[in-house]
Amino acid sequence: MTPTENELILLTRRPQGNVDEDCFTFESQEISPPGPGEVHIRNIYLSCDPYLRLNMSSRFELGKPIPVRAVGEVVATADPRFAVGDVVWGFLAWERYSVARAADLTLVDSKLGPLSHAISVRGMIGLTAWVGMMSIGQPAPGDTVVVSAAAGAVGSVAGQLARLAGARVVGIAGGERKVSHVVENLGYDAAIDYKSGVSLKESLADACPDGVDVYFDNVGGTVLNAVLDQLGVGARLAICGGISQYQVEGQEETNLAKLMGSGATMKWFSIYDHLHELPAFVTRMARLVGEGKIVYYEDIADGFENVIPAFLGLFRGENLGKRLVRVSDEP
């Protein structure tokens, strides 16, 4: 029997500065059965990502559900491409149940590994790390690679990819717990604690005496500026995200003149330009994880009522790895 009652989270106020609980409203709604070409999904894992904060300021509609990636189980279908019991992922929303067009969903193959990985390491998160590090950063044996938010969802993969490609990898993370994690569990060669009180510029100079060849940036602002002062000749910078700047009005500025003639390349890439690479990537990453070459940590909260606290915690740097919320059980 398919459910008829849904619970969802609406964006009801645009955040000014720091996002807080007052921006969201929980609501119950009836669900109609799926129409032709549609599928009805019981959501299992909902994604919490820093970039959502940016879209809450402008792109997302007020009074509407918040679009996020989710993994769920098909509970009713009006399309021949999916059967009841199939596990799928798609851009759904922070809600218990979703109705989606079959054309917008992708089957998740449980033989490839954990189901949740379809929206983390084996999904767009992992692809983001792959494109930024391998296509833009292009680490080579002997290179020094720096990754910020090194313990985070994307950074943790980016750093491990650079290590597999033969580079020396230095992570930047906040706090002792993350710094140890990055070196001990993720195999980084060194890590810098930006909260330690030591100047980041000095720490970078110590950790990267020959300069930084590749920088994978997840945070922007002060950290980016410190790395710009330590670049080697011909450095490649993959600019992925800027969590430090998402909630700030007066943003950190950079003197670009210092890069003159440096041979440096900075690319502000968007993963949406690379979605065609996802199918091949899924297979590749499943193999790397299966062989233990990439280890991946997820930071999973439980319960639909915890979606907002889990999301807000991202901006306090709470999470070790990819933050997800489990809102119902795996099949």
Between 101 and 267, name the residue whose CB sits nearer to its own copies.
267
Cβ distance to its own copies smaller for residue 57 or 110 = 57
- Pick between residue 118 and residue 264 the one whose CB is nearest to its own copies: 264
Nearer to its own copies, 1 or 257 (CB): 257
CA–CA distance, 221 with 128 (Å, rounded to integer):
20
Q: Does 260 bind its own copies (CB under 8 A)?
A: yes
Q: Cβ 237 to its own copies, closest distance in Å?
A: 9
CB of residue 262 to its own copies, shortest distance in Å: 5
Report the length, in residues, of the chain.
331
Task: Answer yes or no: are the C-beta atoms of 122 and 286 closer than 8 Å.
Answer: yes
Residue pair 25/10 in contact (Cβ under 8 Å)? The answer is: yes
Q: How far is the CB of 36 from its own copies (least distance, A)?
A: 34
Among 263, 290, 303, 331, binds its own copies (CB under 8 A): 263
Give the footprint of its own copies on residues 196-255 (CB under 8 A): 220-221, 224, 234, 239, 241-242, 245, 251-255
1 or 260: CB nearest its own copies: 260
Task: Find the shortest distance in angstroms from Cβ 51 to its own copies.
Answer: 8
> Residue type at 198?
V
Q: What is the DSSP letter of 297?
A: -
| Residue whose C-alpha is closest to residue 34's, from 2, 5, 72 | 2
Q: Does 257 bind its own copies (CB under 8 A)?
A: yes
Determine contact, residues 291/276, Cβ cutoff 8 Å: no
Identity of the residue, 112 or 239, whose beta carbon is nearer to its own copies in the bound complex: 239
Structure token pair of residue 44: 């299992």
Please list every residue from 177 through 196 that binds its own copies, using CB under 8 A. none
The residue within the footprint of its own copies, chosen from 185, 247, 265, 306 (CB under 8 A), is 265
CA 121 from centre of chain: 9
- 9: which strand partners? 26
273 forms part of the interface with its own copies (CB under 8 A):
yes
240: Cβ contacts below 8 Å, ≥ 6 apart? 128, 132, 154, 158, 216, 217, 218, 269
Residue 211: count of CB within 10 angstroms of its CB: 15
CA angle 327, 7, 325 (to 5 degrees): 20
Nearer of residues 184 and 210 to its own copies, judged by Cβ: 210
Among 164, 259, 278, 300, binds its own copies (CB under 8 A): 259
Residues 296-325 that bind its own copies (CB under 8 A): none
**75 binding its own copies? (CB under 8 A):** no
Least distance to its own copies from the beta carbon of 234, Å?
7
For residue 187, CA distances in Å to 137, 172, 175, 262 come to 19, 13, 17, 30
Please report whether residue 58 would count as binding its own copies according to CB under 8 A: no
Q: How far apart are CA 303 and CA 114, in angstroms?
A: 19
CA distance 137 to 215: 7
> Can residue 262 be called a binding residue for its own copies (CB under 8 A)?
yes
Site for its own copies in 90-119 (CB under 8 A): none
Task: Give me the residues that bind its own copies (CB under 8 A), please.
Answer: 54, 220-221, 224, 234, 239, 241-242, 245, 251-257, 259-270, 272-273
